[in-house]
Structure 1
Amino acid sequence: MEATYAGSPPSSYDMSDYLGMLRRHWWIAVVLTALGVAAGAAYNQSLPREYVSAASVLVRPAGLDANVSGGRTRDEINLDTEAQLLHSTPVVAGAAKLLHRQDVDVLAASVTVEVPPNTSVLQVEYTAGDPLEAQAGAHAFAQSYLANREGNAKAELTRQADALRAKLKELSDDLTEINGRLGGLHSNSSAYASLDSQRDTTVNQINQLNNRVNALATETVNAGVIIQEARVPTRPVKPNPAVNYAAGALLGLLAGLGLAALRQRLDRRVHSGRDLVRAGIDVLGTVPGKGKHCTEVFTPFSPGGRAFNRLRNEVVAALKPGEQVVVVTGASRGPAATLVAANLAAALSRTGAEVVLIGAQVPDTLTESAPLAQLLGVAPTPGLSDLLAGRVNLAEATQRAARTPSLHVITTGGTATAAGMLQSHALRDIVATLRAHADYLVIEAPSTAASADAQSLASLADAAIVAVELRRTRRPQLTDAAEQLRRVGTVLLGGVVMPRLAHRARRKSAPEPEPALVETATPEPDPHTNGHKPRGEDQTIMLAPVDASALAELDEAHPR
């Protein structure tokens, strides 16, 4: 067996529970993630395309501007201010004129400007829904900005020149007045010397202003130059497929995890031994392998055989002196109890002990009929129902297993559906007789979910084991099974966890066979008979310790 869980039920889930949930419902997360990616792709396809083209403009001193070397904000040229000027009304209007458009507000919203650090360059970017339109817009704004800057510089030069000319006119008028006053004075007078000095000063100022006017007239205006023309963009910047696909995948994954958690919360099936622990049932062990490999009596040294050898040891250790009857029932319908009971009985008999296995479950799954008989290689009839009906005696109903001499089997028999037989006093007498003449008695009981027979049989036993089939047994069934067994005072040793088995449903179209018409299944050949079919009296070997007096007492109490 695998690890055994004991102790009080855990109050919360741990990481292994969440990993188990993810392992069971991984397909939900995968499907919803794929749907999320598909939704992201559809959303990406529905978005309008945006293309961006950029033109680089080198800003130079225009007119009398200061040197711009050294970056963005040095001296009188502030490149951050220049970047804002690209959104000014004159620049936007100039770009609209170049593009032959009237929607000035749309144009202003479509342009952005970046200033690379430690440069005198403006990066003019224009966004549009068409690649050619984006290129034309970036180029138009760059040209409009340079034209506006050059026009402003020329206007500034003209203003300065006009101011100097106005000053020259004033100085010329002053010089004319001084010359007129000098003409009326004697050259040796003190007033003449003062006016002569003023005349020299005025002449010098006039000469300086003339030089400045000449300099302004010859000033070359170069506001800047486009150092990188706008190009036609080859791919859109929006939408971003990678971002949309990743967002869709993430949302799909989150939705998948949420749906998996909801499904896990609504799923009432037993998925692992931890569900047994939460129901207050200790896990005696877990049968290894997959369902199709578990429908047999395991050999002693196979993984399944070693698992049931360990279960045998735990059961023997749990039984007190004088206790020898173990009932095995299933929490849900199916062959799980049959398989556990058969393998437990085989494991007990391998120790040399005399073991009797009583089949009391209606054979409606696993095989078409008599699963216990086919598992152990015995005839399906006569069996327990025939014995309870008084059609055969205990010796005739008891058969020796083909491969295990110390294992004796009482099958369900041909009248397994007779109502009330499992609650009869005859069964109590049979169990009492077998207690006296066998080392261990294993009873394969019907499922607690099928009828109250399991509870009746448990009242005759010293201990009980619940066979739990993963992904078929439900947690309420598990809780109900434990409660039924505890109410009759039977010690529940724990549960044996089995993988989900392949159930073969009973054919509804086939009528229920009459007891007298039940066919006898051919048992598996005994290796000691060289493949020959044993004859009738050899198939119904009576349990050796049961003597004639015991049979006489049993027949006297319950005459046929």
Structure 2
Amino acid sequence: MSATPPDLPTAGDYLAVLRRRWALIVVSVVVAGMAAQLYVAVVPDEYESSATVLVRPITRDPLEAYDRAGDLVDLQTELQLVTSPLVVDRARPVIGDAPVDEVQERMAVEAPGDADVMRITYRAPGPSQAAAGANALAEAYLAVRLDRGSAAISGSTDAIEERLAELSDELEDVSATIAATADDPESLDAIDAQNRRTLLQGQISLLSAELAQRLSTSIDAGEVIAPAVEPAAPSSPQPVRAMIVALLAGAVLGVLAAFVRDRLDDNLRDAGVAGRALHARVLAVVPGGGGLRTRNRSMVNAYRRLAVTLDDRRPDALIVASYEPLAERTSTAVNLAITLAEEHRVLLVDVPSGHPAVQELLNSNLDAARRGLVVESGVGREIVELHQPAPLHLIAAESSSPASSRYGQSKGTMTALLDVVGGAYDFVIVDAAPLSESTDALELREVSSGVVFAVRVGDTRLSDLAEAAETLDQVGLRILGVVVHTKRRRRGRVDSGLARQVADAGASATGRGDLTSAAGRRAGGTADARRS
């Protein structure tokens, strides 16, 4: 089985973060909902009403078509005209004396579609004020547009009338010249005067026709085709909309805060994270409790899965390690030894006799046989032969040895011990002192082919795991896998990420009636030979 774990977080890991930080998300949503309620209660109501205006081009003749060049309506220009101070000042009798920029903030003008139509919207504290303001602005816009058209026509007619007056004066002078030369109509002066009169009469005729056309021009600025009416409900604030937006924003911020909080949290919260930090597979997730596995069915199954996984590897000596002082490290060593001892010869080395799991084990074997073992260096160690709950040999830790140098000065003794007993046992499990206090695991690298690392959710720090992984890698000690201890068991709830990894770790047991029976059959011949 491959021992290389996935390096990237999975969907289960992200869901685990949301489950762990659910309270933060709920608080964020609740706070956002309360903020929305406060906003709705504090912000004054505002009403909106709209008037629709049909804009017509100002034509020179009512019978002319609208598509003449220069007569088409430029709605972009008209939109700017509606919000201009000219229109605002024209509507002041209704909208009041508010500054122009404030009135413009309350206005909204749009030209929907391609039609020559504009919608003028006005916001006000009351429904009647909103409707009256929209209608006043619409009427003011049409009045300003009508005034501009009338002014343009008036200006052009004044210019024509002034020119006609000048031509009339010239015509009178020419007529006087013609009268003076009546006795000699064939003279040059008479002929020139007659030609001049004809030209002036033609110009006067043209300008008179132009003036008549200008005076008859129909000026149509447009009309209000849909007057504004009083709205039945305020446009803002909208309680339902505000609450929905606030809850969604609160949920998003809560999720982001959950991931940030989880990222900044150095404590181990998830088995998958422990596996990635140590670059190893999660072999088992053990429910909370430091006692023997026989009292907890979940613990029994977890350690059996772990036993099957380790039996495939068959290390020379198996080191159970942790970074910080951890009671669960010793319980891992003890319970793993008990599980393997169901079908193998197992020696458990250097477990502290005061640990609850060891005490419980010794109390269940009060008649245990004890015998001395003298290794080549002359140092004696006592082996305790246990029978319950499985045949198991145990060497307790020497209470006189400081944890900081338990193997440092007597590494040869431990090596010799493992050499002596190695041929008599299928598994030798060593409960090493924590890496933060001792170099036990590092000193035993020559007689061990791997480490099982014990961690505890909520207490083990990720930075410590990263340091432990780097240290073990530097000395060449391979991490066979990680055993994750939870603080308590939640009935009916299993972390999806943990379940997946544990299932992977126990995949080799698929199709077996007993999780350790196949391992026992493979090692049976060797074990029987050693027992004989």
TM-score with structure 1 length normalisation? 0.61
Equivalent residues in 2 for 1:368-447, closer than 5 Å:
370-373=359-362, 378-380=364-366, 398-401=385-388, 404=390, 407-410=391-394, 435=421, 438-440=424-426, 442=428, 445=431, 447=433
Q: Which amino acid aligns with 2:359?
A: A
CA–CA separation in structure 2 for the residues paired with 1:346 and 1:417 = 24
Number of the residue aligned with 1:15: 8
Alignment equivalent of 2:263, drawn from 247, 261, 264: 261
> What is the match of residue 343 of structure 2?
350
Residue 497 of structure 1 aligns with which residue? 482
Instruction: Assess, with a 3 A threshold, how the Cα gap between structure 1 residues 200 and 236 changes in structure 2: closer, same or farther.
Output: same
Q: Which runs of 5+ in 2 are unaligned?
A: 375-380, 490-529
Aligned-pair CA distance for 1:42: 2.2
- What are the ranges of 5 or more consecutive residues in structure 1 without an aligned counterpart? 7-12, 320-324, 505-544, 548-560
In structure 2, the partner of 1:28 is 21
Q: Which amino acid counterpart does residue 138 of structure 2 have in structure 1?
A: A
Which structure 2 residues correspond to residues 134-533 of structure 1 after superposition, within 5 A? Answer: 134-186=130-182, 189-190=185-186, 195=193, 199=197, 202=200, 206=204, 209-233=207-231, 234-236=233-235, 241=242, 249-263=251-265, 266-267=266-267, 269=268, 271-272=270-271, 275=274, 286-287=283-284, 290-291=287-288, 295-296=292-293, 304-315=303-314, 318-319=315-316, 328=320, 332-344=325-337, 346-347=339-340, 350-351=343-344, 354-357=345-348, 360-365=351-356, 370-373=359-362, 378-380=364-366, 398-401=385-388, 404=390, 407-410=391-394, 435=421, 438-440=424-426, 442=428, 445=431, 447-448=433-434, 465-471=451-457, 472-474=459-461, 494-501=479-486
Shift of residue 222, structure 1, vs aligned partner = 2.1
Tell me how far 1:255 sits from its aligned partner.
3.5
Cα pair distance change 1:141/1:159, threshold 3 Å: same
Aligned-pair distance for 1:79? 3.5
Larger Rg over CA atoms:
1
Q: Which residue of 2 aligns with 1:514?
A: none
Residue 30 of structure 1: CA displacement? 7.1
Partner of residue 515, structure 1? none
Q: Indicate the residue corresponding to 1:101 in structure 2.
A: 97
SS of the residue corresponding to residue 308 of structure 1 reads helix
**In the alignment, what sits opposite 1:523?**
none
Q: Deviations over 1:407-438 (max 9, x none)?
A: 244596xxx9965699899x99x969983994
Partner of 1:532: none
Could you tell me how far 1:290 is from its partner in structure 2?
A: 4.3
Task: Give the C-alpha shift of residue 149 in structure 1.
Answer: 2.0
Deviations along 1:110-130, one digit per CA (max 9) or x if unpaired, are 434434564333333334455
Give the count of matched residue pairs.
Answer: 465
Over the matched positions of the two proteins, sequence identity in percent amounts to 21
Q: CA deviation at 1:95?
A: 1.2
Q: Between 476-485 and 187-196, report the one with greater CA deviation.
A: 476-485
CA drift of 1:94 comes to: 0.7
Which residue does the alignment assign to 1:540?
none
Q: Is the 8 A contact 2:303 2:335 kept in 1?
A: no
Q: Distance in 2 between matches of 1:83 and 1:480?
A: 68
Check if 1:4 corresponds to 2:3. yes
C-alpha distance 349-117 of structure 1, shift in aligned 2 (>3 A): closer
After superposition, the C-alpha distances for 1:250-297 in whole angstroms (9 at most, x for unaligned) are 44443432222111xx33x485477578668x66x6125645799526
Measured in 2, the distance between the counterparts of 1:62 and 1:446 equals 98
Residue 308 of structure 1: CA displacement?
0.8
Amino acid at match of 2:16: R
Per-residue CA deviations over 1:133-160 (Å, capped at 9, x if unaligned) read 3333222121112112222333333444
**Residues 107 and 226 from structure 1, CA distance in 2 versus in 1: closer, same or farther, beyond 3 angstroms?**
same
Query: What letter corresponds to residue 256 of structure 1 in structure 2?
Result: A
Which amino acid counterpart does residue 141 of structure 1 have in structure 2? L
What is the identity, as a one-letter code, of the residue corresponding to 2:308? N
- TM-score using structure 2 length: 0.64
Computed over aligned residues only, the root mean square deviation of the Cα atoms, in angstroms, reads: 5.6
1:358–1:444 Cα contact (<8 Å) kept: yes
**Stretch of structure 1 that moved more, 254-263 or 336-345:** 336-345
Query: Aligned AA for 1:152?
Result: R
Partner AA of 1:224 in structure 2 = G
